[in-house]
Amino acid sequence: MTYLQGIFAASITPLNDDFSPDLGAIPGYLDFLAERGCHGALLLGTTGEGPSFSFEQRVEICRAAVRVREKWPHFALLAGTSTPSLDETVNLTRFAFDIGMDGTVVLPPYYFRNSGDSGLLSWFLNVIQRSVPADGNFLAYNIPAVSGVPLSIELLSQLYEAEPRRFSGLKDSSGDLHYAKQLGEKFGKDLCVLTGNDRLLSSALNYHASGCITAMANLISPDLRSLWDAFKSDKSTDLIQTRIDGVREISELFQPFPALIKYLLHHFFEFPLWPVCPPLEDLPQDSADRVSTMINLA
């Protein structure tokens, strides 16, 4: 899984004014991420507004994304294939692997939030065994503040015991340093753990994480890549981490991230001002004015 290590952007999804995916813009946007040091990208995650799109739209987005390989053949691509429906998640996950995605990132079923670990284990195993090829990489997605369903260390242990090859790891967006430490102590480097919080990148790497998948990588991937390269060279990451923390701290004042990131991409990098899909709302003008003076990405 060496190609599932490093800096991954939780990519935004370019949209047209009618909220349909701007398919023509997707390969060029991924090219931008690759040029700025990203090892890969996650499509259709939280920042990519994945749950807002239909099955057919997700299929189109994934097909558009793989075109980035024409220029960047080793750019790793992950697809968010989560839905509350078992069969739909299976079909999306199978499709993602069929067109050449390197892995899928899957939330727990987020409607029945009181399900126990045994029910979650059955659901995840059904998805893996029905849709993931023998050489495929299935990553669970732990973001309890959004999904309402935390993934326990015990559940992850049971998944790994049952499917040690196809269950490759998880994206951990809990923001919990203690949980990151527990993951490192329990699994070492056996699981691919990609932190979803830029502030925890240095600490997570010290706890055997494989890298990160973050919203901020859309904007500050050069800094994140510099930190990754410094860590791999056994150099201090303190100054770079402090700089990253500053941008993250300001950005958290203007959540949710999709609208903020789309605005900053437009303001600093001259991308179109892509809308977000309802129920999300575009960044209000007063917030846009404020954040433009607080963050400098030029």
Burial (CB count within 10 angstroms: exposed 0-12, middle 13-18, buried 19+), residue 270: exposed
Task: Name the catalytic one among 111, 189, 232, 242.
Answer: 111
**Which of 13, 29, 46, 195 is flagged as catalytic?**
46
- Work out the angle at residue 12's Cα, subtended by the Cα atoms of residues 8 and 15, and round it to the nearest 5 degrees: 155
What are the backbone angles phi and psi of residue 174, rounded to the nearest 5°? Answer: -70, -25
Long-range Cβ pairs for the range 108-116 (8 Å, 24+):
108/140, 108/141, 108/147, 108/149, 108/151, 109/84, 109/85, 109/149, 110/82, 110/84, 110/146, 110/147, 110/148, 110/149, 111/84, 112/84, 113/147, 113/148, 113/149, 115/149
In the residue annotation, 46 being an active-site residue is answered as yes
Active site (annotated) includes residue 237: no
Burial class (CB in 10 A: 0-12, 13-18, 19+), 222: middle
Using DSSP bridges, classify how beta strands 103-106 and 6-10 pair: parallel, antiparallel or unpaired. Answer: unpaired
To the query of whether residue 186 is one of the catalytic residues in this protein, the response is no
From 29, 110, 141, 263, the catalytic residue: 141
Q: Please say if 81 is a catalytic residue.
A: no
- Whether 193 contacts 174, CB under 8 Å: no
Q: Tell me which H or E stretch contains 76.
A: strand 76-80
d(CA 219, CA 75): 18
Taken in order 50, 79, 100, 167, the sign of the CA dihedral is negative
Q: Which of 47, 81, 93, 171 is catalytic?
A: 171
Longest dimension (CA), the chain: 51
The closest alpha carbon to 147, from 100, 113, 179, belongs to 113
For the annotated catalytic residues, the residue numbers are 46, 111, 141, 171
